Copies of this chain bind each other. A is one copy, B any other.
């Protein structure tokens, strides 16, 4: 989940921890709160240990001789490795049931620009299915348990049901969009090539 997000971000540019957190906070702002450092640093260490990312220099060209008592720590810049890119491709294409959870779906969606259309469609449809099930569950409760639950609990269910239905409709539009080959409805965006980077630039969305 987090691995996917970090790998995806580092594919755009090398970064250090603090930067990763900020970028992820804006990229995933709609989905979840900023990722905690208590998660981030151990994760980076783990990914590094697994050879999926590597430390890139930046530790002051000369001063290398001594780790002084007051260890001049300095920032650690990570970049993605070839294995990391492979891993990212695996993870992004994974369409198991996990990919339809709230959090996981959000991350997958946020990297749709790096996902091929078939996978995008599979994920959108899986998510829609998931939301339809949740919707049915809520409708059942509202239909059958009106007597058993207090007014506040019912109001909560109603609000949840509303959000649910809304998301299903949203997904439906996106699916239709994908099928017709259109990019997601950019309401007012310039819609230009979003990545000026020199990256491999995999499957891009705008293409009739």
Contact = CB atoms under 8 A, between A and B. Distances in A.
Contacts of A154: 184, 186, 189
Interface in A155-208: 155-163, 166-167, 170, 174, 183-191, 194-195, 203-207
A150 interface: yes
B26 A150 contact: no
A66 B136 CA distance: 47
Nearest to A112: B152
A26 B145 contact: yes
Contacts of A206: 151
Interface residues of A, number: 54
Interface stretch (A27-35, A47-55, A76-84): A27-35
Contacts of A58: none
A29 B137 contact: yes
B160 A163 contact: no
A148 interface: yes
B190 A146 contact: yes
Contacts of A56: none
B151 A186 contact: yes
List 5 A-B pairs, minimum CB-CB distance, nearest first: A30-B160, A150-B194, A112-B152, A113-B150, A155-B184
Interface of A: 26-27, 29-31, 106, 109-113, 134, 137-138, 141, 145-163, 166-167, 170, 174, 183-191, 194-195, 203-207
7 contacts: A27-B153, A29-B138, A112-B152, A149-B194, A150-B204, A151-B191, A159-B167
